[in-house]
Amino acid sequence: METDIDSIFCGRPRIYSQTDASNGFWGIPVRPGDRHKAAFVGPGGMWEYSGMPQGLKGAPSTYARFGDLVFGHHVISGKKIPSVMGYLPHLKTSLFIFVDDHNMMSETFEDHFHFLAHHYFPRVAWAPIGLSGSKTFLFDDHANSVGFEIREGRVRPSLKHRTKFAKWKEEYRQEPPKT
């Protein structure tokens, strides 16, 4: 996470995009021989997941490794394909991933468009990763991720969280906790 936050401060990002993988965990197949391990019994009988269910102890780390596989370094037929995660100085663009949230930021519209069209979306299509249309924002002037707002390289708590904190502070002022 620290490297992801550091990548925000590389360059001078002005254009932001966010995507959210819809049901991303389910996109990772479970080997047929392991499906019984996450089976459950319901009114209609016993059911086994063919895709990785959410809530398994190792699911988040498996999904993180999947993200590394999709967006990290590759060697295909002897050809090296570089990682697109972190800050990419030659593209003036950063990509950081938190579980199933993908955050991209670039210095210019042209750099951002080039990164999305030639680096990000081809890998998403190859994976394949389904994206949530309602949680996808492209070419915006800010991003909200993991409770923080990122705007022009500055990171601060999101307005929603600042409002909640101010309300909580006022409630404690009116009625302090009793010890």
- Strands (E) in the chain, as ranges, are 15-20, 40-42, 45-47, 74-76, 79-81, 86-88, 93-98, 101-106, 137-140, 143-145, 148-151, 154-157
Strand 93-98 vs strand 45-47: parallel, antiparallel, or unpaired? Answer: unpaired
Q: Provide the residue type at 92 as one letter.
A: K
Predicted model pTM? 0.78
Per-residue pLDDT of the chain (179 residues; tens, 9 = 90+): 555 555 555 668 889 999 998 888 888 889 999 999 989 999 999 999 999 988 888 888 888 889 888 999 988 888 888 999 988 989 999 998 888 899 999 999 999 999 999 999 999 998 878 899 999 999 999 888 878 888 876 788 888 877 887 788 778 788 887 77
Q: State the greatest distance between any 2 C-alpha atoms of the chain, in Å, as a whole number.
A: 68
The phi-psi region of residue 105 (left if phi > 0; otherwise alpha if psi is between -120 and 50; otherwise beta) is: beta
Which residues share a beta bridge with 92? none
Taking the mean position of all CA atoms in its chain, how far away is CA 5? 13
**CA dist., res. 71 & res. 96, Å (int):** 10
- Report all structural domains of the chain as residue ranges with CATH numbers, in order of start: 2-174 (3.30.70.270)
